[in-house]
């Protein structure tokens, strides 16, 4: 259950930003999470509410933008979509794939006051 640790990292960033950018409340947090990031969205939502309790982001809305995973297929010489890490290339069946997108775990933007 590292989603708790991830939520604590988010709270750490919110506090740093609050000091830097002079705000005291966070109303909305927008994240970008890739399907290969190892994050379970449901667990993250649950952990978010627990960790943000009694903080500057208590009750904040959590918006999650789930990105698509992609890989570079060496035999095809092109970018292909990927659902899971161990899936073969949908065009040629090869496993010679290099993940190029889908590992994102980012805070995109905040709504604050």
What residues line the site for other proteins (CB under 8 A)? 1-2, 5-6, 9-10, 12-13, 17, 21, 23, 31, 36-38, 84-86, 88, 95-97, 99, 105-112
Look up residue 88 and give its DSSP letter: P
19 contact choice in other proteins, Zn ion, none (CB below 5 to 8 Å, kind-dependent): none
Question: Of these, 18, 71, 89, 112, which contacts Zn ion (CB under 5 A)?
Answer: 89
Question: Is the CB of residue 35 less than 8 Å from the CB of residue 65?
Answer: no
The tokens describing 107, both together, are: 């805070």
> How many chain residues are in contact with Zn ion, going by CB under 5 A?
7
110 in Cβ contact with 18 (< 8 Å): no
């Amino acid at each position: 259950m590292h989603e708790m640790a991830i939520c604590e990292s988010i709270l750490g960033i919110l506090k740093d930003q609050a000091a830097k950018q002079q705000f005291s409340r966070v109303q909305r947090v927008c994240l970008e999470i890739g399907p290969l990031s190892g994050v379970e969205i449901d667990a993250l939502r649950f952990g978010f509410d627990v960790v943000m309790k009694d903080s500057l982001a208590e009750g904040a809305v959590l918006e999650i933008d789930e990105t698509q995973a992609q890989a570079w297929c060496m035999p095809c010489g092109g970018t292909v979509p990927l659902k899971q890490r161990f899936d073969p290339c949908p065009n040629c069946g090869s496993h010679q794939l290099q993940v190029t997108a889908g590992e994102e775990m980012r805070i995109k933007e905040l709504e604050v006051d």
